[in-house]
Structure 1
Amino acid sequence: MKQISSTQNPFIKSLVLLQEKAKARKQSGTFLIEGQREIELALKGGYELETVLFVPELVDYSELQKQLPVSCEWIEIHKEVYQKLAYRDTTEGIIAVAKMKNHEIARLDLPKNPLVLVAEAIEKPGNLGALLRTADAVGADAVLIANPKTDLYNPNIVRSSVGCLFTNPIATGSSEEVITFLLQKNIAIYSATLQNSNAYHENDYTGPTALVVGTEATGLTAAWREAATQNIIIPMSGTIDSMNVSVAAAILLFEAKRQRGF
């Protein structure tokens, strides 16, 4: 088995770039997954792993190795090399290099009566990761990211989603592409916005439904307000008129699931 002990190794340097630069991820079509649980979720989600790097004194990799094809390369690394690559503060001792998936919206396959979360132009990776966790928790059929502003394989998204990046069906596209897709599929659009809205709990989400949220700073663009079957609002009693986007999405999604009987 190959061993790497130096942080100056050219391969290790290339992996550091994958961790730090969206351009490097895009050019190579690969990204890093840190942690055994996240790696196992990626395998469950159908991701292909090229390489696994591990610190033998920190992790028992025997069970994971049984789940991977023989074509996956295993490399033993020193703890200092791992710390150079690791994004998280906690030390688990294992990192994988995985191939990205194609997230074109035309490739998305939905069930007959889908419940979909749409997130437009979310800039903060942590917020997008939290949205993916929320969608996974509620069992949403897909997450559509309209006008994406951050690289989907940003390490902070991988971390903050706790691996839910790999368990959710995800598609990306412009707002116009996503709206066209939803209308072609006869999916009702409920846009969370202040303008021309009614209270979210007054609507029927038992049919094919897309719940749409935008940024906390600017909200949804006009395209979503105009395309909506109904604009919706979450009534609030505080002194501010907005909440974290993942919290808003959770309220809407769990109301839809409540109506559907979970």
Structure 2
Amino acid sequence: MQLSKTISSSKNPLVKQILLLKEKSRERKKTGLFVIEGLRELTLAQKGSYDIVSLLLCEELFTGDPSLHIDAKSITLVTKAVYQKVAHRDSTEGILAIAKTKEHHLNEIRFATKTPLILVAEAPEKPGNIGALLRTADAANLDAVLIANPKTDLYNPNIIRSSVGCVFTTQIGMGSTADIIGFLKAKKIAIYCAALTASKNYLKLDYTKATALVVGTESTGLSSIWLNNAHHNLIIPMEGEIDSMNVSVSAAILIFEAKRQRYL
């Protein structure tokens, strides 16, 4: 690894590049690069085989193990003032990196078992919801998360932050709704759609076979193509005044019911 001199100016080109990558989805897509902030997130990215291009380290703020090894092409030391300029928060151990994005093609998805459990989210937009879905997927050790008709850049810093790095630990595929339905059918994976109409109580269904749990947005739900191709529509009964919950909460309920059945 090449160690550069300490950066003390916020006008340094590398500092400007980091700010652009954090703030502009277009810059991330154009360069194929994104920013990882924090020791936990960076460690998970390395475990997920992400290519770390540049590592920035503030020795004054670094609270990690001094013997920590991150496989990066270069390490740059920065002052506390510069780190605070590029970091979202101080509590990220004084370490930040630029890494290469992944493509997340459906044909790269691999399953270790014949009965995978998958979460599909159609057109998720809010970074907090996407991060929460990925965090739940990691907690349940799902086989994959598929995002249909994505509306938000997966490497948005808010997704990385809200997922606490689980964007790096989960097998993710992205594509159109039609592509993902075709993928599921080709793999003989049953499609269970969360819907308000023509639905069965989620507790009455069997999730022990290869299953995809499909959730839509809170505002519009799933598109008709999903409902027309579903093996079952399911619903979580609401006992209060409202008829729906946050999408990440709903997904967690469905996922862990499926996991419960598989433990029996």
Residue of structure 2 aligned with 1:37, choices 37, 40, 48: 40
Identify the residue that residue 110 of structure 1 maps to in structure 2: 111
Look up the match of 2:150. Answer: 148
Q: For 1:169 and 1:234, how far apart are their aligned partners in 2?
A: 26
Q: Aligned residue for 1:243?
A: 245
Describe the superposition over 1:40-81 as per-residue Cα deviations: whole angstroms up to 9, x where unpaired.
00011111101110100111463333x426xx2000001111
1:10 maps to 13
Match of 1:161 in 2: 163
Larger mean CA deviation between 105-114 and 21-30 belongs to 105-114
Q: Which residue is 1:222 aligned to?
A: 224
2:82 corresponds in structure 1 to 81
Cα deviation code 1:10-58 (max 9, x no counterpart): 1210110000000000111010000011100001111110111010011
Q: Is 106-115 or 169-178 further displaced after alignment?
A: 106-115
Deviations 1:211-240 (CA, angstroms, capped at 9, x unpaired): 000100110000111110000000010101
Pairing partner for 1:258 from 240, 257, 260: 260
1:88/1:226 CA distance change after superposition, 3 Å: farther
| 1:191–1:212 contact (8 Å) kept in structure 2 | yes
Is residue 65 of structure 2 the alignment partner of residue 64 of structure 1? no
| Aligned amino acid, residue 231 of structure 2 | T
For residues 236 and 153 of structure 2, the distance between their equivalents in structure 1, rounded to whole angstroms, comes to 29
AA partner of residue 85 (structure 2): K
SS at match of 2:167: helix
Deviation at 1:204, TM superposition (A): 0.6
Aligned counterparts of 1:202 and 1:229: Cα–Cα separation in 2: 14
- Give the drift of 1:249: 0.4
List runs of 5+ in structure 2 lacking aligned partners: none
Q: Offset at 1:153? A: 0.1
Would the aligned equivalents of 2:39 and 2:92 in 1 still touch at CA under 8 Å?
no
What is the match of residue 236 of structure 2?
234
Q: What is the RMSD computed on CA atoms of the aligned residues?
A: 1.2
Q: Which residue of 1 is the match for residue 102 of structure 2?
A: 101
Q: Percent identity among equivalent residues?
A: 57
Aligned-pair distance for 1:107? 1.3
Q: Which runs of 5+ in 1 are unaligned?
A: none
